[in-house]
Chains A and B, each alone.
Chain A
Amino acid sequence: MSLRIQPYGPEALLIDLDDTAQVGAVYADLLSLRDAGQLPGVRDIVPAAATVLLDGVADPRGVAARLADLEPQSRPQASGDTVELPARYDGPDLEDVAKLWEVAPAEVVRIHSGIEFQVAFTGFAPGFGYLVGLPERYAVPRRPTARTAVPAGAIGLAGAYTGVYPRRSPGGWQLIGTTDAVLWDLDREAPALLMPGTRVRFVPEDGGGKP
């Protein structure tokens, strides 16, 4: 099968995929192609939940033709370091999430800190990654009313995604904890700690949830 690629205005293409795993694989392939000079005139490559956007494309038809034969396939995870985020599971919504999961709060900590997450895509704010890895059965709804101010470092859940607020902002995610890690720092060479593809673990600071 070939990629489903459609035009998106005069200078962009949108690739429709089945799931986040395919997105990760196609995104990695596109980065390799770009690094090899095979995608000239492509300004931005933006993965999302089930799509990859190519924006600022000088020759959309030519690029679409070149990519038509790319196979979307899930591949073994690339090797590389895992970012460990120290976490205090002290969020105001931990009890609510525990009820939704039908477990004790300590069990939420054990489950959440036992998962290796991966950044599927970013959005909402610079450095805000949508982390996947939580099984679908742990998906939770957003808060019925968004908070006007969520502090920087807050760890939240929405759907089956986990996210960490890079800075103080409004937000509707269920807050289960806090990290002191700096998610976004313009003084770093790479301002974003979490980029698409980055693997992430939450490490309870007080050893909570561990035997």
Chain B
Amino acid sequence: MSAALAVVSPGLLTTVQDLGRPGHAHLGVPHSGALDRRAHRLANALVGNAPEAATLETTLMGCTVRAVRALRTEMPVVAAVAGAVGPVRVDGRPAAWGAPVHVPAGSVLEVGPATHGVRAYVAFAGGVAPTPVLGSRSTDLLSGLGPEPLKAGDVVPLGTPAGPPPEGADVIPHAAPPTRLVLPLLLGPRADWFSADAIRALARAEYRVAPASNRVGLRLEGPAVKRSRDGELPSEGMVLGAVQVPPDGHPVVFLADHPTTGGYPVVGVVPAAALDAAAQARPGTAVRFVPSAVG
């Protein structure tokens, strides 16, 4: 048996995430996967993992895990934290954020509450390795696929490290967490459900990230986006970053666990590259859209 993690505290919500389970949308299976893919990749790179390896995705409050010794090795577990910024401790002693950290067998790795951002990604050399479902270890909170969110007492297996962590993987620079989020918005496919005035108003409006935001969507509070037509849209396919406008007019930006089909008009799409920052925006963060036509 390889090493494993025993969950001491899962914080507010800690899930296993990788790059998701693409290619099953026609069966109603969401894409899922890490919300801040850049941070997920970075954490993996710091411990010498491929980008596909699964990490732990925490939510605001971090998480605490104990390294469980592998049967025939005294090797410490190598971990790294990226994404949301917060204190990292091993057995109560401060350890590096954004750099490889050695966690001896039996020791406790504590990822503290985030001081900036929302979601920390905790990578372990060899990857977090619960049984994959449809090719992915991601927890999908919409459809319930993949491992359950972590609970205290859970034991999560780790994979076998490919090799020693890369040399010189030292402290990484991190972008300042967003105090305001500026989201490019490629208009369509249902921008014609809104008047030109409504689109102009959307471009001027300032929204706030609503507390009800989750892995399914970034929910926004602010001026309602007015539709120029009534009626229902027949269900149609939804994509990552789609900005759906429900009847109350408050836009929802679809994140990784979004439903595969939906019946509210999509005014535009936020490109995936801008969603990493969206995943780190706390409730109350100011949000603006910059609409443009698809180039």
Instruction: List chain A positions with a Cβ less than 8 A from chain B.
Output: 6-12, 14, 43-53, 55-56, 121-128, 130, 167, 186, 191-192, 195-196
Contact between B28 and A7, CB atoms less than 8 A apart: no
- Chain A CB within 8 A of B188 CB: yes
Tell me if A9 and B241 are in contact (CB < 8 A).
Answer: yes
Mask for B213-247, Cβ within 8 A of A = 1, else 0? 00000000000000000000011111101100000
Rounded to whole angstroms, the CA-CA distance of A56 and B134 in the bound complex is 18
Instruction: Report if B71 contacts A (CB, 8 A).
Output: no
Is B211 close to A, CB under 8 A? Answer: no
Known A8-B188, A123-B260, A123-B261; contact A51-B27, beta-carbon cutoff 8 A = no
* A48 in contact with B261 given A10-B294, A126-B29, A127-B28 (CB within 8 Å): yes
Q: How many residues of B contact A (CB 8 A)?
A: 35
Q: Are B236 and A51 in contact (CB under 8 A)?
A: yes
Q: B239 contacts which chain A residues (CB < 8 A)?
A: 8-9, 11-12, 53, 55
A194 CB, nearest partner CB in chain B, Å: 9
Which residues of the other chain, A, contact B182 by a CB distance below 8 angstroms? none
A17 vs B134: C-alpha distance in the bound complex, in angstroms? Answer: 31
| A9-B271, A46-B260 as given contacts; A124 in contact with B237, CB under 8 Å | no
Q: Which A residues touch B269, using CB under 8 A?
A: 8-10, 12
Identify 14 new A-B residue pairs, CB closer than 8 A, beyond the known A9-B271, A49-B235, A125-B28: A7-B189, A11-B239, A53-B25, A53-B237, A55-B25, A55-B239, A122-B27, A122-B28, A124-B28, A128-B28, A130-B235, A191-B27, A195-B26, A195-B27
- Contact, CB under 8 Å: B28 / A50: no
Residues of A within 8 Å of B28, CB to CB, are: 122-128, 192
On whether the beta carbons of B22 and A10 are closer than 8 Å, the reply is no
The residue of chain A having its C-beta at the shortest distance from the C-beta of B260 within the complex is A123
Report B's interface with A, CB cutoff 8 A: 22-29, 133-134, 143-145, 186, 188-189, 234-239, 241-242, 259-262, 266, 268-272, 294
Q: How far is the CA of A170 from the CA of B272 in the complex (A)?
A: 30
Tell me the smallest distance from the CB of A163 to a CB of chain B, in Å.
11
CB-CB under 8 A for A186 and B133, given A7-B294, A53-B239, A126-B27:
yes
| Shortest Cβ gap from B233 to chain A (Å) | 9
With contact pairs A123-B261, A126-B27, A186-B133 given, residues A6 and B189 touching in the complex (Cβ less than 8 Å) = yes
CA distance A167 to B144 in the complex (A): 10
Give Cα A51–Cα B133 distance, bound, in whole angstroms.
Answer: 28
Q: Which residues of chain B have C-beta atoms less than 8 A from A9's C-beta?
A: 186, 188, 239, 241-242, 268-271, 294
Q: Cβ of A53: which chain B residues have Cβ within 8 Å of it?
A: 25, 236-239
CA distance A186 to B238 in the complex (A): 24
B259 pairs with A124, CB closer than 8 A: yes
Q: What residues of chain A lie closer than 8 Å to B270, measured between beta carbons?
A: 9
Nearest CB in chain B to that of A166: its residue: B28
Question: How far is B239's CA from A126's CA once the two chains are assembled, in angstroms?
Answer: 16
A167 (CB) vs chain B CBs: closest residue: B144
- Report the separation of the CA atoms of residues A97 and B262 in the bound assembly, to the nearest whole angstrom: 25
**Chain B neighbourhood of A123, CB < 8 A:** 28, 235, 259-262
